[in-house]
Structure 1
Amino acid sequence: MKLIYSIHKYDVTLFTWLNNVMIHAGLVRLCRTISRTADGVLYVLVAVWLYWDQGIHDGLLQAMILAFLIERPVYLLLKKGFKRDRPQQALQNFCSVIKPADQFSFPSGHTSAAFMVATLLGYFLPDLLPILYLWAALVGFSRVVLGVHFPSDTLMGMVLGVSTAIFSLDYLLL
């Protein structure tokens, strides 16, 4: 219990600092754009392109399908299990920049999906891995700037996304 309290205290401190710094207003527009890239449309477009170009037997497409079939239910179980309030509900006098799609914040689904897809794409296109991970990290950062997640929500999203991708690749490539 003390560990959870310490993590929450750190989260609130970092979250509050980030949302009160002078450059916050300038970041919001950029963060909205970055966050939208992880709304899911991009993933569907990649899957459709892979199917059209390579067919259903494409390794990346199969890994993406398996990873999403695992990651989404685990993500939902964690969200409904932890029931962590979003910053707007947890902090007095705070209003998030955007309206989140669901009630709870832990883990960040946008961050999880972004790191999962970045890991999968990076496995098949290793030269792009640094850029893909930078994009995924910016997705997580944007969710904090927009006020819908605490930093540890995005950290857990990263762990979930990378873990799911690695499991899917291991399962399919064995």
Structure 2
Amino acid sequence: MRSIEPIAKLDLAFSLFCLQHKFSYPLSRVSRAISHTGDGHLYAFFGLAASGFGGGNGQQFLLVGLMAFAIELPIYWGVKNLFKRRRPHDCSELVTSFITPSDRYSLPSGHTAAAFLMATLMSYWYVDLTIFAFAWASLIASARILLGVHFLTDVILGAALGVGCAKLAMLLAGGI
């Protein structure tokens, strides 16, 4: 574990930098709202709306999305429970957590994984929304750090997991 010690120190320093400034409390309110958009409700709404109003294209989007989440969720839980990385507020009394996370461990960020999974799918089926989708996913990832529940590497690996699972689902769905 010594080989990752410099990364862990950098992660903690970055979290402290993000959370120890005079704007952290007001910023936490905005971050909480942004993070909440990544709780899953919006994904379900968008998938069902696309399926209902987008014809065959929307139905394909929904089915590949369901497949991508079916791939992503077990990997997410497996990695999270394999590494059992403590959250930033559990690593230092100097780190403030502005929300109570839904589970105990931080690596990878599930909110970030889901947001980047959805952004990747949206960028394929709804090309005009690509910039918006990835900006939104990046805001969710940033919000998770600014809320004190994830480290920088948690969201980077979460983003990679989301993109990878979306691409795999698209490949499995017939080389889309």
Fold equivalence (TM over 0.5): yes
Q: Indicate conservation of the 8 Å contact 2:15/2:95, yes or no.
A: no
Compute the displacement of 1:80 (Å). Answer: 0.3
Partner of residue 65, structure 1: 66
Residue identity opposite 1:25 in structure 2: Y
> In the alignment, what sits opposite 2:26?
26
Q: Does the CA-based 8 Å contact 1:100-1:148 persist in structure 2?
A: yes
Check the 8 A contact 1:56/1:62 in 2, yes or no. no
What is the Cα deviation at residue 29 of structure 1?
Answer: 1.2
In the TM superposition, residue 93 of structure 1 has moved relative to its aligned partner by 4.2
Taking the aligned partners of 1:20 and 1:167, their CA distance within structure 2 comes to: 39
Provide the rounded CA distance (Å) in 1 between the counterparts of 2:89 and 2:41: 26
Q: Pairwise CA RMSD of aligned residues?
A: 1.6
- Tell me how far 1:36 sits from its aligned partner: 0.3
- Counterpart position of 1:7: 7
Which residue number corresponds to residue 161 of structure 1?
162
TM-score, length of structure 2 as denominator length: 0.93
2:40 aligned partner: 40
Task: List runs of 5+ in structure 2 lacking aligned partners.
Answer: none
Q: Which range moves more in the overlay, 14-23 or 112-121?
A: 14-23
1:52-82 Cα shifts (integer Å, max 9, x gaps): 3337982111110100000001000000000
Residue number in structure 2 paired with 1:131: 132
| Cα 1:37/1:57, change in 2 over 3 Å | closer
Does the 8 Å CA contact 2:52/2:59 hold for their aligned counterparts? Answer: no
Contact 2:35 2:111 in 1 (8 A): yes
Higher deviation after alignment, 135-144 or 25-34: 25-34
Q: Which residue of 1 aligns with 2:77?
A: 76
Instruction: Show the counterpart of 2:97.
Output: 96
Query: What is the TM-score normalised by the length of structure 1?
Result: 0.94
Which letter does structure 2 place at the counterpart of 1:153?
Answer: D
Q: Is the 8 A contact 1:87 1:150 kept in 2?
A: yes
Instruction: Give SS of 2:86's match.
Output: coil
Q: Which amino acid aligns with 1:9?
A: K
Name the count of aligned residue pairs: 174
